[in-house]
């Protein structure tokens, strides 16, 4: 991680593909997006869990799961 990046929790959609082209995220409105800048980002894992519950997103560990991704300051 460089000086201008932060590692944050996000909710991924699809088979594990962290950081690869085509990575899909859950956006802050609960929809699916490929735009990293639109991904809902969380400092704490528990916050991501609460968000998923509030949007009725079922986390199954395979197609919808919480994980880390690195974000440039401009992506936050």
- Tell me the pLDDT tens digit for each residue of 8-25: 999 999 876 666 778 999
Residue carrying the six token digits 């639109």: 38
- 19-46 per-residue burial string, b: 16 or more CB within 10 A, e: under 16: eeeebbbbbeeeeebeebebbbbbeeee
pTM of the prediction?
Answer: 0.87
pLDDT tens for each residue of 19-50: 677 899 999 999 999 999 999 999 999 999 99
Do the Cβ atoms of 72 and 5 come closer than 8 Å? yes
């Amino acid at each position: 991680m460089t000086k201008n990046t932060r590692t944050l929790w996000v909710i991924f959609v699809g088979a594990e593909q962290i950081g690869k082209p085509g990575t899909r995220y859950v956006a802050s409105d609960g929809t699916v997006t490929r735009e990293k800048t639109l991904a809902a980002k969380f400092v704490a894992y528990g916050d991501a869990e609460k968000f998923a519950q509030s949007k009725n997103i079922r986390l199954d560990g395979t197609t919808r799961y919480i994980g880390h991704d690195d974000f440039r300051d401009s992506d936050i």
